[in-house]
Structure formats: structure tokens, C-alpha cells
Amino acid sequence: MNINIVSIGQFKNSEYKPIFFNYISKLPWEVKLTELKPYKHKNQQVRKEKDSDKLIEKVNENQMIISLDKSGNTITSEEFTQLITQQKQDNKNISFLIGGADGISASCLKKSNIIISFGKMTWPHLLARLLLAEQLYRASSIISNHPYHRN
């Protein structure tokens, strides 16, 4: 199973970057991060649409598309692990989509197989990446019965 994280924005010299890659380096799956520059426009809706179009362009049709958006369902780490396990069993790759400051467009969300929220609070897209990396590591720990996850 391969995991593709497609995100608007770039780590550059962010303090989150080494933490993100530390989690990713521990995963048993191949993970690719695709960073996309945000579209520049005065109109928020235009930015959201253009950024979302760029996200979808980086996804293969045969992949499970999971968007991270505040409109999604909140799930537990165990439910997230079940989702990952099912995709692994089905030999299906996963693309996680993380929008920019304006979020993800409705048309992009409709193309998603699943929409997940990390809660009702709004998170910066770079921090959302870090939260995703940690949850992927937690899922791999649960799958391998590693003591990292304590319920």
C-alpha cells in the first residue's frame, strides 16, 4: 500500500517539518508528500476552487481519496486504523487531501471517498499534516501491537 499526502502549502523551514518526517520515516508504508503552492487571487472562492482543482489533479483514479476537512466526520484512532487496514487488505493506495487556508471546494469533496475532520476547531494546514502523520504512525502501531497506542 502506498500513501500519497497532497497538500496546499509548503513546509519550507517550518518547525513542523522534522516532526512530520520523523513520523513518516517510521511507517511500514511508502508515503509521498506532494506540496502545492497556493493559488493567488483576491477572491476566496476562486482560490478555494483553484487549489482544490490542483489537489484532485494529483490523485490517481484507482486510489481511495480521503479529504481532511472540517465538514467531515470525526473518527477515533481505532476507526482510522480500521480504514487503513481495509485499504491495505484491498491492496488499494490512499491519497489524503489537505486544503489551504480556504479549505477544500464542494466539488473536490464530492470526488472524495471519505471526508475526515480532526475536530470542530480549525487547524493550520501544516499542523493538519503533522496530525495526519501522527495518526498514521498510531495506526501502524495499533496494527503491529506496539505499545505506543494506549487506549
Determine the pLDDT at residue 135: 97
Low-confidence residues of the chain: pLDDT under 70: none
Q: How far is CA 79 from the centre of its chain?
A: 15
What is the distance between the alpha carbons of residues 25 and 72, in angstroms, rounded to a whole number?
Answer: 27
For residues 56 and 105, what is the distance between their CA atoms, to the nearest angstrom? 11
pLDDT at 149: 77
Residue pair 118/90 in contact (Cβ under 8 Å)? The answer is no
- Enumerate the β-bridge partners of residue 116: 73
Q: Is 6 exposed, middle or buried (0-12, 13-18, 19+ CB in 10 A)?
A: buried
**Segments making up each domain of the chain, as ranges:** 2-143
How far from chain centre, in Å, is Cα 81? 14
Query: How far apart, in whole angstroms, are the C-alpha atoms of residue 64 and residue 1?
Result: 11
pLDDT at 148: 83
Superfamily of domain 2-143: SPOUT methyltransferase, trefoil knot domain (3.40.1280.10)
Q: What pLDDT digit, counting tens, does each position of 18-27 carry?
A: 999 999 999 9
pTM for the structure as a whole = 0.94
